[in-house]
Chain A
Amino acid sequence: MEEYTDKELVRLFREAGNPGYAFNLIVRKYQEKLYWHIRKLLISHDDTDDTLQVVFIKTYQSLPGFREESSLYTWLYRIATNEALSFLKKKNNRRYLYLEDIGTYLERTLEADAYSDGNEMRMKLQKAIIRLPEKQRIVFNMKYFDEMKYEDMADILQTSVGALKASYHHATKKIEKFLMED
């Protein structure tokens, strides 16, 4: 399959007679990256699958108006992050009825999800990440696992590089402390 650049994909979507073809190429190019980005936030495979579909549907609907002020890559990550956070917010609102906070819900999901497995240390690391505040959790995941540049993260999360570095630093400290506890 011919590898297109992001700019070419956007142009292909807008100008060619068949936007479905260009969109399919975009989905194939970014589905895995976005899936893992969302999965790290939502933990559950089913929730991630549902959210990923919503992300691409919104992408399809919004692409004609995409102004290319940022790259397609950061734009997609921004949509994915927002959708994952909005999913958690909705879940959190519903869980108030059961007096369970979202952290407890995610931890329970981590232990119960059919598509979660791994050694004890990896599971413990995920539990430590779940306990972080929302922003630190996102920043830690993007930096530690995806090894994303701070500049790209700043574009996606629309914040400063300094704030991101501080968040990552605090997150790392908290996680290390959690991992040291037995």
Chain B
Amino acid sequence: MENNGYIPENLKKAGKELPFRVPGNYFENFPGRLQDRLNQEQQIPVYRRLFTFVRPHLDLAALIAGIALVTWFGYHQLIVNNQNVTLDSYELSTIVDYYLHDYDEDLLISTLIESGEETSLSPLEDNSDEIMDYLTVDGIDYSLLIDDN
């Protein structure tokens, strides 16, 4: 590293004078102007001085509040509202009716069994007459059914 006193050639040419000046009598008048400003500052109520201090940080505070709000809503929507919902049998049957055309029979039965709800899928009792009556409503050949039985 070079000596502290070393000044390169071009820098030496530029010299140490500044290309700045001040208005006439600036330094003579400055203490008076400063005194006026100090008096004004002392007359400003404390809450206004506090607001002047806080104001530059208000945008940051608003940003943090916004992020906190969005996070809270997001949490509320995603976690709280997404908890397991238990359906009673009426709601379940309504849903099943609505989506019935998309279900195949096996899937429907397995879903109902998994849900643990009481269903009317208890083993068939010996009520073949009723079944035959039900099936023949749709015009199925009765004799064919008898043969199958």
Taking a contact as CB atoms under 8 Å apart, the answer to whether A119 and B19 are in contact is yes
One of A20, A45, A110, A175 near B11 (C-beta < 8 A):
A175
Extra contacts besides A53-B34, A115-B23 (16): CB < 8 Å: A20-B35, A31-B27, A35-B30, A39-B18, A45-B20, A115-B21, A116-B20, A117-B19, A117-B21, A122-B18, A143-B4, A144-B7, A144-B16, A150-B4, A172-B8, A176-B9
Taking a contact as CB atoms under 8 Å apart, the answer to whether A27 and B20 are in contact is no
Taking a contact as CB atoms under 8 Å apart, the answer to whether A36 and B18 are in contact is yes
Taking a contact as CB atoms under 8 Å apart, the answer to whether B1 and A176 are in contact is no
Q: How far is the CA of A105 from the CA of B60 in the complex (A)?
A: 25
Category for how many chain A residues contact B: 35 or more
Taking a contact as CB atoms under 8 Å apart, the answer to whether B17 and A122 are in contact is yes
Surface stretch bound by B, among A6-14, A64-72, A74-82, A162-170: A162-170
User: Residue among A117, A176, A180 with the most chain B CB within 10 A?
Assistant: A176
One of A36, A52, A60, A180 near B38 (C-beta < 8 A):
A60
The answer, yes or no, to whether B76 is at the interface (CB within 8 Å) is no
The answer, yes or no, to whether A47 is at the interface (CB within 8 Å) is no
CB distance from B31 to the nearest CB of A (A): 5
The A interface is mostly helix, strand or loop, or mixed, namely helix
The answer, yes or no, to whether A108 is at the interface (CB within 8 Å) is no
Taking a contact as CB atoms under 8 Å apart, the answer to whether B11 and A56 are in contact is no
The answer, yes or no, to whether B56 is at the interface (CB within 8 Å) is yes
Taking a contact as CB atoms under 8 Å apart, the answer to whether A27 and B30 are in contact is yes
One of B1, B4, B16 near A145 (C-beta < 8 A):
B16
Taking a contact as CB atoms under 8 Å apart, the answer to whether A176 and B11 are in contact is yes
**Nearest B residue to A147, CB-CB:** B16
Which A residues touch B19, using CB under 8 A? Answer: 110, 116-119, 122-123, 126
The answer, yes or no, to whether B85 is at the interface (CB within 8 Å) is no
Q: How far is the CA of A43 from the CA of B20 in the complex (A)?
A: 8
When A28-B31, A125-B11, A172-B11 are in contact, do A57 and B4 touch as well, CB less than 8 Å?
A: no
**Nearest A residue to B59, CB-CB:** A93
Q: How far is the CA of A181 from the CA of B13 in the complex (A)?
A: 14
The answer, yes or no, to whether B15 is at the interface (CB within 8 Å) is yes
Which B residues touch A121, using CB under 8 A? Answer: 13-15
Q: Which of B83-125 contact A (CB under 8 A)?
A: none
Q: CB-defined interface of B27-54 with A at 8 Å, one 1/0 digit per residue?
A: 1001101110110010000000000000
Taking a contact as CB atoms under 8 Å apart, the answer to whether A27 and B34 are in contact is yes
The answer, yes or no, to whether A104 is at the interface (CB within 8 Å) is no
**Nearest A residue to B9, CB-CB:** A176
Which B residues touch A28, using CB under 8 A? Answer: 31
Selected A-B contacts with CB under 8 Å, 17 pairs: A31-B27, A31-B31, A32-B27, A35-B22, A35-B27, A40-B18, A43-B20, A49-B26, A53-B37, A56-B34, A117-B19, A121-B13, A121-B15, A125-B14, A172-B2, A172-B7, A179-B8
